[in-house]
Amino acid sequence: MNEVIRSSDNSIVKKIRKVHSRKKGDELVYIEGVRIVEDCLLSGGVCDRLICSEKKYDVASELADKYGISSLDISVLDDGLFDRISSTVNSQGVAMLVNVPKYSNSIIENKDNAVYCILDCVQDPGNVGTIIRLADAFDFDAVIITGGTADPFGEKALRASMGSSWHIPVVTFNDDVSLVKELNSRNITTLGMHLRGDNLDTAELRLPCAFIIGNEGKGMSDDVSSLCTSLVKIPMPGRAESLNAASAASVIGNELRKARDLTL
């Protein structure tokens, strides 16, 4: 077993704490849990450092052997110290610092049946992670994040995504207006969720398509909605005024999945 770290002043512990307070765009993220760590590695995630509690060293060592991680890149923490740096209530004793996957904007193509999900100023990281998870479940081509959206690789978003952040490309555009103009120029249908839109039940859903989920409270800006190819709304005969962003994304996402499946 590697030397056990017992001091909170250790440089590795300080590095972990720095990553815990990461800012959007930083290269490293902290993930925790045996299944989430292994799922990340299985999906090609690049390990910066594998971290484990003293009692979970054997588990971490098996992961390192399986995925070609050097024993020098395993940091073993005293059980109590691991619990203090853990981001979960009941830690599993295994975590990892991992590099954020990088994708070029060129991954967005006008190809038959492509479906992209755009999150425009979605501020709740739980919504962001859940939408990434549903995009993965529906086998969409990518999730596109605008500059005003919560960090998709923040710890809350990663937990909500349940590992899907490693399965589907997540691409960032800082300017939402330029993004919609770019998609339109490539003849990719831009479908905005908007209260002024046509009912989803009767709307024409043309692929390739990028559907846009706006801010939880304000929706899409007028600048963005005015550029969309079409606007749609979810019919709601009940008394609730709206759905939250993740719920709305799941409804429109499933309709686009069905439209895509009909053309395959």
When the pLDDT of each residue in the chain is averaged and rounded to a whole number, the result is 92
Tokens of 140: 């969409």
CA gap 230, 227 in Å, rounded: 9
- pLDDT value at residue 150: 95
* Sign of the torsion formed by the C-alpha atoms of 3, 9, 12 and 17: positive
pLDDT digits (tens, 9 = 90+) for 140-164: 999 999 988 999 999 899 989 988 9
3-state SS, residue 49: strand
* Sign of the torsion formed by the C-alpha atoms of 66, 71, 72 and 78: positive
Written out in words, the top-level CATH class of the domain with range 105-263 is alpha beta
- pLDDT value at residue 187: 93
pLDDT digits (tens, 9 = 90+) for 8-17: 999 999 999 9
Residue 135 banded pLDDT, cuts 50, 70, 90:
very high
CA gap 103, 105 in Å, rounded: 7
Is residue 108 classed exposed, middle or buried when 0-12, 13-18 and 19+ CB atoms within 10 A define those classes? buried
Can you give the residue ranges of every domain in the chain? 4-99, 105-263
Query: Residues 73-86: what's their mean pLDDT?
Result: 94
Residue 262 banded pLDDT, cuts 50, 70, 90:
confident
Residue 102 banded pLDDT, cuts 50, 70, 90:
confident
- pLDDT value at residue 134: 96
Q: Identify the architecture of domain 4-99 in CATH.
A: 2-Layer Sandwich (3.30)
Choose the weakest-confidence range: 157-161, 228-232, 241-245: 241-245
